[in-house]
Structure 1
């Protein structure tokens, strides 16, 4: 084979290069939403000058479209700039959970939990342990992409398995399953806040959306995706790496592959094990105290009917409960291992967590303005009514419309990596649209989760793909983005199909996606 033929990019690489080129032309999320805000401002002004109105089904009066570049619109913006930002619903839920997760992560508790799972797993179960840690690892937000892959490679190597299988499998499970979890995370709070914000002006917004609104669906999805991830790592990825003769040793400084160290340890030190044990005991005690407080007769956390659904103080207190279950065990762990020694360390680790999310806090400013304009102007209602009418006209109003929505989300996810940015954009249009067709906002949020995660491990616009590529090149210096894409695809397609299948089961059996949240809006 000639050198020219050997170096000529294949079809897959040319396609991925095209995706990268197109995606790189998109502005960053802040500028993207600033541009969208400007477009919305111009369009709403034109519609307002044309006296456009929309009749939302179920509303007594027509909605008059209001324009930003009018006297009313300009005074609305100048008076509400700060309120639009501080009133952005995700801030009230995400920030407290971030503070709590920050304590659990910076104290070392989350890392110790991951190492415990890896260290206690037998050799044959390691792929499934990686699947479990990867999917559940989204509780650490983006840190999962940096922490889990190299640790998985370490334990695979120690067990005599291919370390690259652990490296790539950990990343795939963390990325392709990012939007689901066995636990309630800050992402649940973020999505719920955005969904709530765009339902405020709907005549029938359905059941309240909380961080628990997709919890049953998340549990089912997590279990299935964990098993699929483990199976693919074990039966597809690792055998293929062996057939390709991918080295099992990292490169030494001289460029030669180094032999394995005599001992590779992922297990906990005695002090860490003791700290983890006590933090779990304390966490269980906190959970038991909460349980007792809510199940006793006449509990103040029950609703007026004495229950918990569809609305109750308990469901409104989920953020507080999550805060306790992360913060208190984290403090216990940190105190025992010495990462938190004085009261001054608590605000320090919380501050580090907030600094890690500074980009989101900046982005939230323009997201809040965009959603506020969408709601205030009435253009969201107009788009929803027009879109619902269009779908009805072509007969696409049932479950196929939901599948089309998931497909669109998966494609857009190749270009817009930020889940909060994409859900802000899509929720503004599709939540009201599907609500008019009778679907609960929580159900559409669940459908979005499917499309939002599965494809993000095959887009070169994911910045953590570059981090992973750097790790991979310690074993394969010639590896490129095409190498990663080819090895991630076996995860993407099964994840997507299985996730859609789970949603389909929930849809056709009309199962609740979470406490108090079903598929269809009850009239």
Structure 2
């Protein structure tokens, strides 16, 4: 009881209590919509306005004036009720996530992701054990939930087998999977989700915008190489010495025999079928890559617009990547499952795709609420007014771009302590942040990259993170007196290290003006047209 009371004191206890008082993210959006309606009424009555940054009134020859619109005006009430199906189904992240998850759900349920992670860390040399666990954890983000339920407990078993403290292995894997949530060598589901929200944020102010879901590829690959030594150092030099030597008497029966059996099952050797499945999956991946190269550079170049301007020629390729990831995950999962015995026929494949959609039930509800919040924010004109006024204020402040982006990282990290969902936070922040930064010449891709750094760093220290209790159970299997405060204290050095290194990476990226991904730059020209025009990036 004393230990439990102690855990409720201090900053971590305050965070836990405060966060638990927040409503579910779905209702958080509904509450924000109610507040938005009230603010829009007040703004309309007070005549809130701003000069349009680029649009000229043809009659007067001066800048057009943007005025706040009440969400209870007849026009907006009609929009709400008449366009509700369209508002929901046209929410860009929805289609992206549903398509990608149709394929990723097959790969996960067939066992491809779990087997690939087991194969990656089981026979690792002792000296390279920590970095390999961390690297597989970061790459395992492509597998979504599978990385949490397979790799993290497996890391504890492997560390124990190597004579090291099992909790150190769990901490390293947790830091890689969750602290390095956005770091990866390849774009994946998260890129499709976040850039879908970015697209919606841009279009609320600037009209049509073509998202580039590989627009952070170079940046997240660099995050992988920057975060890897940080987590490695913290594990071997800070966390493991702090934990001290481990002995069997520290372990308890904190989990049921069934749960212990499931965790221990992760350490079994690969079967011949699983090895064959991994080989087939690898061939399937190579086949999909070759197919997309053919579509891009082969006869007719269907994924290149030869008639477009140089910076827009690859837009069809970028937009095809959502379908590309769907095909890649689907065929790789099918190839693995047919060899490993987890997929017997096409009916199994359909069941796995259906199961993936069932897992997205909560996301669909969240997307409904977020879609209406984003749309109503645009109808009120408050997003554009705040973006213009915020851009004027920040522009007059003289702050360099790197300082603005560093502030966004810190705000994202703080908000992450209270709202765990990456998509929910970005849906809250992006309608103002993305247009505001665009008006300052900072690209949507750079705004998204900065958000990702802040979102990753504090994932591992908030008790509100959905997998935090599960990680605690994994730790208690090896150390029965390991409590919530113990886990938070163990992960705090990782969080600080990731925050510092992430800030340094972002600042350096902006100062040296490095490309964020294919066709994606840090800076852009202020959009030439607004409300129906397309944001034109700098060449």
- TM value normalised by structure 2: 0.89
Corresponding residue number in structure 2 for 1:32: 28
**Counterpart Cα distance in 1 of 2:205 and 2:87:** 19
Q: Aligned match of 2:160 in 157, 162, 169? A: 157
Deviation at 1:201, TM superposition (A): 4.1
Rounded to whole Å, the distance in 2 between the matches of 1:305 and 1:371 is 34
Distance 1:62 1:488, change over 3 A: same
Matched, 1:85 2:82: no
Q: Does 1:445 align with 2:453?
A: no
Q: CA deviation at 1:396?
A: 3.2
Displacement of 1:441 = 1.0
- 1:479-518 to structure 2, matched below 5 A, reads 479-518=482-521
Matched, 1:105 2:108: yes
Change (3 A) 1:351 1:423: same
The answer for the alignment partner of 2:49 in structure 1 is 53
Q: 1:484 offset after TM fit, Å?
A: 0.5
Candidates 271, 274, 282, aligned match of 1:272 = 274
Quick one: structure 1 residues 70 and 450, their matched pair in 2 at CA, closer, same or farther if it must change by over 3 Å? same
Does residue 1:125 correspond to 2:128, yes or no?
yes
Contact 1:155-1:266 within 8 A present in 2 as well = no
Shift of residue 212, structure 1, vs aligned partner: 0.7
* Range that drifts further, 233-242 or 179-188: 233-242
1:9 aligns with 2:6: yes
Residue aligned with 1:513, SS = coil
| Correspondence for 2:332 | 329
Mean CA deviation greater in 394-403 or 370-379: 394-403
Residue 308 (structure 1) shift:
7.6
1:197 aligned counterpart, secondary structure: helix
2:402 pairs with 1:399: yes
Does the residue aligned with 2:346 lie in a helix, a strand or coil?
A: coil
Given that residues 298 and 306 in structure 1 are in contact (C-alpha distance below 8 angstroms), is that contact kept between their aligned partners in structure 2?
Answer: no
Aligned-residue offset at 1:247: 4.8
In structure 2, list runs of 5 or more residues that go unmatched.
Answer: 57-63, 527-539
Listed one character per residue, the Cα deviations across residues 235-256 of structure 1 (whole Å, up to 9, x for unaligned) are 332232225x56587435899x
User: 1:135–1:225: 8 Å Cα contact kept in structure 2?
Assistant: no
Deviation at 1:377, TM superposition (A): 1.9
Aligned partners of 1:322 and 1:414: how far apart in 2? Answer: 31
Matched, 1:320 2:317: no
Distance 1:385 1:293 in 2: 41
After superposition, the Cα gap between the structure-2 partners of 1:392 and 1:140, relative to the gap in structure 1 and judged at 3 Å, is same
1:284 is matched with 286
TM-aligned CA distance change 1:103 to 1:209, over 3 Å: same
Q: Within 2, Cα distance between the matches of 1:39 and 1:79? A: 22
Q: CA deviation at 1:199?
A: 0.7
1:213 corresponds in structure 2 to 215
1:158–1:264 contact (8 Å) kept in structure 2: no
8 Å CA contact 1:155–1:264 kept in 2: the answer is no
Contact 1:13 1:482 in 2 (8 A): no
Q: Is the CA contact 1:131–1:227 (under 8 Å) kept in the aligned structure 2? A: no
**Residue 84 of structure 1: how far off its partner (Å):** 0.8
Question: Aligned match of 1:18 in 14, 18, 21?
Answer: 14
Q: Distance in 1 between matches of 2:11 and 2:436?
A: 33
Q: What are the superposed Cα offsets for residues 291-327 of structure 1, whole Å, 9 maximum, x if unpaired?
A: 2332236412112258984443111100111112111
Indicate the residue corresponding to 1:385 in structure 2.
Answer: 388
Question: CA RMSD for the aligned pairs?
Answer: 2.6
Q: CA deviation at 1:132?
A: 0.8
Distance 2:44 2:510 in 1: 39
What is aligned with 1:456?
459
**Structure 1: gaps (5+ residues):** none
Deviations 1:299-358 (A, max 9, x none): 121122589844431111001111121110110111111211111111211121122221
Are 1:391 and 1:397, in contact at CA under 8 Å, matched by a contact in 2?
Answer: no
Taking the aligned partners of 1:291 and 1:79, their CA distance within structure 2 comes to: 43
Using a 3 Å threshold, how does the CA distance of structure 1 residues 33 and 447 change in structure 2: closer, same or farther? same
For 1:461 and 1:103, the matched residues in 2 are separated by: 29
Take 1:173 and 1:423, find their aligned partners in 2: how far apart are those partners? 21
Give the TM-score taking structure 1 as reference length: 0.92
Q: Give distance in 1, aligned partners of 2:520 and 2:398.
A: 26
Map of 2:60 onto structure 1: none
Give a deviation string over 1:354-407, Cα, whole Å, max 9, x none.
222211111000000000111122110011112222323443353212211111
Greater CA drift, 246-255 or 266-275: 246-255
Which of 134, 137, 141 is the aligned partner of 1:134?
Answer: 137
Equivalent residue number for residue 532 of structure 2: none
Maintained 8 Å contact 2:114/2:146: no
